[in-house]
Amino acid sequence: MGRYQTTQIFQLREIGLGLTFIGGFIDAYTFVQRGGALAAGQTGNLIFLSVDVAQRDLPGALTKLATVLAFMLGVMAVRVWEYRLRPRSHYWRLLSLVAELVVCGVVGALPANVPNYLITPPLALVMAMQTTAFGTIAGHGYNNVFSTGNLKKATSALAAYGMSSDPDQLMISRVYFELVGAFAGGAMVSALLQTLWGTRTIWVAMGVIGLVGGYYIWLLFRRSRATRSS
pLDDT of 36 over the 80 cut? yes
56: helix, strand or coil = coil
DSSP-assigned letter for residue 4: G
First-residue to last-residue Cα distance in the chain: 15
* Entry field: residues in the chain: 230
> Apex CA 142: angle with CA 119 and CA 73, to 5°?
35
Percent of residues in the chain assigned helix, strand, coil, to nearest 5 = 80, 0, 20
Cα distance between residue 48 and residue 201, in whole Å = 24
Cα distance between residue 20 and residue 182, in whole Å = 6
pLDDT digits (tens, 9 = 90+) for 53-108: 999 888 888 989 999 999 999 999 999 999 999 878 878 999 999 999 999 999 99
The domain ranges of the chain are 3-223
pLDDT digits (tens, 9 = 90+) for 138-169: 899 999 998 999 999 999 999 999 999 999 99
